[in-house]
Amino acid sequence: MKRSLPLFFAFIVGFIVLLSEFIPHSPFNQIVSTLEGWFMIISGFAILLGQISLIRMNTHKIAHRLPNWQYHLAGLISFALMLSFGLLWGMRETPGILGDAPGIQAWLGLKPFDYLFDNAYLPLSATLFSLLAFFIASAAYRAFIIRGLESNLLMITAIIVIIGRTSIGTMFTGWLPENLQFWHFPNLADFIMEYPNTAAQRAILISAGLGIVGSSLRIILGIERSYLGGDK
Amino acid sequence: MRKPLLCLLFLSLISLLMANSFSAKDTPWDDGKSIDLSWELSPMVKRVEISRQNGDEPARILLNTAESSGSFTDNELQPNNEYHYQLKAFFQDDDLTLLASAQTKEQWFYMGKLGFLILLLIICIAIIYYIQAARAGKEFFIRRIAGLDCMEEAIGRATEKGKPILYVPGISDLDDIQTIASLTILSHLAERTAEYDTEIIVPCRFSMVLSAAKEVVREAYIKAGRLDAYKADNIFYLTDDQFGFVAGIDGIMLRRKPAANFFMGSFYAESLILAETGFATGAIQTAGTAQAHQLPFFVVTCDYTLIGEELFAASAYLSKDPQQLGSLKGHDFGKLLIILLIVVGVILEILGVSNLKEFIAGAIS
């Protein structure tokens, strides 16, 4: 029963959602929007599970003084601070339990939640995102090391695209006559991005689409059950 | 002299009026939420204003244009309702008002998707046929997928080193099929780690994924007969925030130094940050995603990469279940069909015949 009921629901819901893709008439479109609403409601309740998991994991590490427990303490304090500020004084246009905190706003310029969001969360997030530039450089260096024909081709293509996407590209080959414009770096880079690159990406997308069809069919028909935790 | 002039003026006015038309029609083969409006006016028109007037509601201007002819689709309407439209045409010295009404109607089929439906049916029938053939005992050749064969190697290495395995089920919620595919792989991996008594860490970005992942890992440990080794705290929620989640995983990788990292599911801008940090820790890394833009990052930084379809085929491949393997043959049939359609489509386009392209693209000519 524990296994067959979810399988039954997966079949019914999967089939209805599939049909609704091709039948615009009610009740199919309404059922799909209702199901999406249900998912949002369940997600809302599930957030509580996430918070419980977060608090339990962190308190366990702090209580047992496990290695690096200080980080977990910092995480819990940050969580509690943001939660309390949000609940007490709200955020942006939304008032909190204690209203809009005009006194604090006059002092900080913003509500406490928004102040921390703008001055702590956003810079931290941007810092992490900016690391990407360095990671791209180190990953590109490894990818472009010449080992064989493929990596050679990869490196040549990458150099053309990099140069073509910068002003140096225009400077290098800007003097080429009209009939040789195809070899102008920016045009070559555009050609590579528009044709070979798009073709390869579309091939991946088409095969992924087929994989999704097969995977969904296996789930709807109950052949694929491992997402429920077991095969049988 | 005045009479012929008046006649001429009358005739020109009539012809002007005759040339002006405004029509409203229910959009065919749709969900009854839009109406197609079209107008054909004298080229002398200076400005055209179309508004919707319904019951006591104030008139809502939908369009302001200088084009003397054209069409417009009024969207987000209620199905099975009558809507009234007014077109005001402003000429040099005069203006003209035309009225039209139409009723929205829900249809029983999206005709534009007929091509997709036929393709889907053919592929589904092929998959079911191959599943049935596999059930009947027919054996199929399935090519090796290095990224999945390496699973044993990764678990073995983690076991030898006494280090954990890190499994990231992507950054999308449970409504993404890639996350479901990732959980099916997690089920197989968790079973193997339970057999080898190797620790598995699963950080989750969404609570729904957390609940599902916990259940999947627990069931896998039960299946392996090692429920005592199951650690519920190893499957945990980090944060909903994309880069906060990445920072958390990076921290785990740097502190715990897992012997093997698995990144399976949907990934976006964080893919390289994760994989590059994992590379720096010296872990054996396997990634799988259907996000074409993230694949190059994974290919560069990971030892093995499951590309697109391989992610969805993973569960069937790992299960070694003939029925599931049969379905993979169905995928191959789908690929063959699409290659054929592309070749035929290209030939027809070169010959100037666009019917196939329009049919597949869902365009109703």
A153: three-class secondary structure by DSSP: helix
Could you please state the CATH topology (level 3) that the domain comprising B140-320 is classified under: Rossmann fold (3.40.50)
Per-residue pLDDT band for B365 (boundaries 50, 70, 90) equals: very low
CATH top-level class of B19-103: mainly beta
Average pLDDT score over residue span A149-176:
89
Q: Which helix (H) or strand (E) holds B89?
A: strand B82-90
Q: Do B328 and A201 touch (CB under 8 A)?
A: no
The reported pLDDT for the residue numbered B140 is 84
Residue B53 has pLDDT above 90, yes or no: no
- Pick among A23, A157, A225, A227 to test the B interface (most B CBs inside 10 A): A227
Check: CB of residue B106 under 8 Å from CB of residue A25: yes
* For chain B, domain boundaries: 19-103, 140-320
Per-residue pLDDT band for A148 (boundaries 50, 70, 90) equals: confident
Residue B6 has pLDDT above 80, yes or no: no
Is the bond leading into A24 cis (omega within 30 degrees of zero)?
no
Residue B170 has pLDDT above 90, yes or no: yes
Residue B56 has pLDDT above 90, yes or no: no
Residue A120 has pLDDT above 60, yes or no: yes
Give the A:B interface size as CB pairs under 8 Å.
Answer: 205
Per-residue pLDDT band for A231 (boundaries 50, 70, 90) equals: low
Q: Do A68 and B319 touch (CB under 8 A)?
A: no
Per-residue pLDDT band for B7 (boundaries 50, 70, 90) equals: low
What's the pLDDT tens digit per position in B201-226? 999 999 999 999 999 999 999 999 99
- Using CB atoms, pick whichever of B207, B233, B319 lies closest to residue A49: B207
State the maximum Cα–Cα separation within chain B, in Å, rounded to a whole number. 112
The reported pLDDT for the residue numbered A45 is 86
B241/A contact by beta carbon, under 8 A: yes
- With a pLDDT cut of 70, the percent of chain A lying above it is 97
What's the pLDDT tens digit per position in A182-201? 999 999 999 999 999 999 99
Check: CB of residue B277 under 8 Å from CB of residue B250: yes
Q: Which residues of A touch B323 (CB under 8 A)?
A: 223
Residue, of A80 and B31, whose pLDDT is higher: A80
Q: Which helix (H) or strand (E) holds B86?
A: strand B82-90
Phi-psi region of B29 (alpha: psi -120 to 50; beta: other; left: phi over 0): left
Chain A (108-127) residues lying within 8 Å, Cβ to Cβ, of chain B? 124-125
Residue A226 has pLDDT above 80, yes or no: no
Average pLDDT score over residue span B54-74:
89
- Using CB atoms, pick whichever of A201, A211, A230 lies closest to residue B313: A211
* For chain A, domain boundaries: 1-66, 145-227
> In 3D, which of A1, A7, A4 has the Cα closest to residue A222?
A7
What's the pLDDT tens digit per position in B189-202? 999 999 999 999 99
Mean pLDDT of chain B: 90
Check: CB of residue A46 under 8 Å from CB of residue B208: yes
For residue A112, give the DSSP letter.
H
User: How far does the CA of residue A175 sit from the closest CA of chain B (Å)?
Assistant: 34
Average pLDDT score over residue span A73-77:
94
Q: Do B327 and A57 touch (CB under 8 A)?
A: no
The reported pLDDT for the residue numbered B12 is 62
Average pLDDT score over residue span B46-69:
89
